[in-house]
Structure 1
């Protein structure tokens, strides 16, 4: 452990084998396990438990009572040396619970960079959460869920295991997400339904009018023209030529839908 004693509260319990940067701050009654690595500028709040093979990057703000790196809630787990990896500049609020991975999948649960994770969020084993996402209070990701960059998951929303949520998608409050959510779409409800396109989110992220126009047309092809999924995918292939500014976005949407194993929300 390479930390200054002045940055660790005297009531915190920090294992001497942990690798902790000297600029890390650890609050009262926190518990840090022996296989934990914490990068520069990160703050760990009071009563947090960081255990298992957990790596936390730089400049994260982890609020009180979070539990990071506990064993996965999977009956098949038999103590394998799986991991939790958290990137940089994330905000992780009170009572969040992130578990390590399982040997049956990639063995790593991953949270990327610049994410805003509100209170009581659960990220289960083997999840992959990208960058600059927002997970509102009590959002729950079951095992093996993938969440793309800039996605937003509303409060009290549950995401079924193995489900994928695409980049720039948005799931509304208290949604039941049991099918894959394609990039750029807004969904909500139980049963889940696509309600429209996340146009305002795209504008806020600097998408040009031409890019948004192309994505709007792709949305019409996939959801408004009564096409089968196979026919819609073929039409999306041709659509890119008509909207060169949005060609990469249309390809992202088409490839996501074509690769879906659970079926896309429609």
Structure 2
């Protein structure tokens, strides 16, 4: 046995783990200083001290008493949650026949979805704007949610994952008299829970961070989402980084919560299309 080779491999693996840990810590440094700055009074710059000094909740108190951040928070949470749930369900519903059903044009339909993935969101802003104006959907939850539902990446992701499931399982269920919708809800959905969990993260973050579209479709203060509201603080408190960092910290909490809740699905979600195309 080549013990030298094994020991060298072990050293490389340990060095890689150490490197990943160091990079992870470094990636948290900006977040740490941002949160630290949010607790500084009348801050005109981002804190560079490792230990908090003159800790205060005045920035958060100002946000909750002088702004409509609670309403903004609800708007973002409501639209992101509803849109993510619908995206996950519709994408699984579309990915199932693309992966397991044979019908004329199925390959062409899949390639059309791939082409749509290459179209930048900015190219669709004008057509979407005209549609929202035509149907009077400005300053509504519908205006935020509906354009996000047609997400080609989500359909692609679900199709790739469902393709890895043996077709014999579905053939046996159909022989036993299982209809297509029962097959989808009772057999497929429990199997693809890792994919559903991973896509839930992607979809929630996708809708939450869709700042450009929200800036276009939302004009009233009450209907602003949290990213829009926090961006507006930059005009009201241009020299107060403490308030800006407080808003950014509150905006990061739901994203971290969703990721921690679905973290066991995240790794499988990244690699879900790698086994079979």
What TM-score, normalized by structure 1, do the two folds share?
Answer: 0.22
Structure number with greater Rg is 2
Q: Which has the higher contact order (CA 8 A, sep 6+)?
A: 2
Structure with the higher fraction of residues in helix conformation: 2
Structure with the higher fraction of residues in strand conformation: 1
